[in-house]
Amino acid sequence: MSSFQKRKQVPLPPGTMVSIQSKQPVTSSGIPSLDHILGGGLNIGSVLLVEEDKFNVYSKVLAKYFLAEGIFSQHKTLLASLDDDPQDMYKKVPSPSEEQITKDTPQNPDDMRIAWRYNNLPQVNSEQNSQTIGHNFDLTKPIQQSVLDEHGGLSWDGNDKHEQPTTMFSNPQFESLLHEIAQVISQSQKMQLSDESEPVPCVRICLTSFGSPLWFDNDFEGDFIKFLTVLKAIVRSMFGVCMITAPMHLLQLLSETFPAQIRNLVDYSVQLEAFAGSDKETNPIFKEYHGLLNINKISALNTLNAFTPETTDLAFKLRRRKFVIEKLHLPPELQESEEHNAPSLPCGDPKKHLLEF
């Protein structure tokens, strides 16, 4: 009798897949174009930091997408916020769009008869699409109460004080939140232990407006950094992902190096630079967009090199039905400007010596 045994393939939970780029399990952020930019999705065990726009409009939309993806993929979801009511936010989570439901139906072969080769080419619209995990959500369709009751996530609003005295932090809210997160993870592990044939349930943790003035205390900076260090350790060991939205424009006022320290403790960092209230709002170059999306960090997790996106010139716009991230295209220059006619030096840029390569 042979001693060889066929290796049992551990099934992945719904809403996760092995990434082609990193060869690691990933899950969707809820926005397919963001997944594409980050290398196919969020690596399991990673922390995504969304640096909020000044009026905290678009970062909330991203958080809603993240939660919606968790609910519709049947992940164990926890939403924590001191600024917003988590239950209210759950009610505003979008549902999958009609186009998502009909996505799997085969396309009509008569779509393009003459220029049939163009069927295989990507659309002219440069919006990225990497749809193997995740849903397309419609922002005009809020989640049904029945779905929320069945798969609804857990919430933390700071009112449930932990009974034990805090030893790690000056602000007891930090420790209370960590205990809540640890509880959610232990519950999901128990679910897996009860039925070993079932895959490990994926956990999604979403902290919105984390580090807002409501979190401030005597030793806020120390507490905040310590919390992120412990959170990173916890997230690394669990099968899940964490999204944090933080008002970095406020946090950088505390210390110049504080944002760099925060980014060191997360795996992905994207900044939403909204045009509202800035000079760029009236700039005709940006009239098609609502803001710029800056990628500050993509770390190499369980691999040697980090994923490099095709371009870092990205912009976003909030349409009625969806949030779209696109390559930044400048409008065509139709009028001749003085700059265009200015004589240029024949032998390159005089500032070229400043380049390091």
Choices 30-38, 209-217, 226-234, 272-280; region in contact with other proteins by CB under 8 A: 226-234
Choices 8-16, 92-100, 227-235, 338-346; region in contact with other proteins by CB under 8 A: 227-235
The DSSP code sequence of 231-278 is HHHHHHHSSEEEEEEE-HHHHTTT-TTHHHHHHHT-SEEEEEEE-TTS
Greatest CA separation found in the chain?
Answer: 85
Which residues sit opposite 138 in a β-bridge? 95
Q: Do β-strands 323-327 and 314-318 pair in parallel, antiparallel, or remain unpaired? A: antiparallel
Choices 149-157, 259-267, 270-278, 316-324; region in contact with other proteins by CB under 8 A: 259-267
Member of 10, 121, 124, 354 binding other proteins (CB under 8 A): 354
177 binds other proteins (CB under 8 A): no
Q: Provide, rounded to whole angstroms, the least separation between the CB of residue 265 and other proteins.
A: 7
Choices 94-102, 126-134, 306-314, 320-328; region in contact with other proteins by CB under 8 A: 306-314
Beta-strand (E) ranges in the chain? 16-18, 25-27, 42-43, 47-51, 76-80, 94-96, 137-142, 154-156, 203-207, 240-246, 268-274, 291-298, 314-318, 323-327
Member of 124, 233, 334, 345 binding other proteins (CB under 8 A): 233
| Residue closer to other proteins (CB basis): 176 or 208 | 176
Assigned token pair, 331? 């409008």
297 binds other proteins (CB under 8 A): yes
- Among 130, 72, 126, 76, which residue's Cα sits nearest to residue 101? 72
Q: Provide, rounded to whole angstroms, the least separation between the CB of residue 268 and other proteins.
A: 13
Q: Provide, rounded to whole angstroms, the least separation between the CB of residue 126 and other proteins.
A: 19
Member of 264, 273, 321, 328 binding other proteins (CB under 8 A): 264
Assigned token pair, 100? 């998502």
Neighbours of 189 (CB within 10 A): 15
Neighbours of 131 (CB within 10 A): 13
Give the footprint of other proteins on this chain (CB under 8 A): 164, 167-168, 175, 178-179, 182, 222, 225-226, 228-230, 232-234, 236-238, 257, 260-261, 263-265, 296-297, 299-306, 308, 312, 354-357
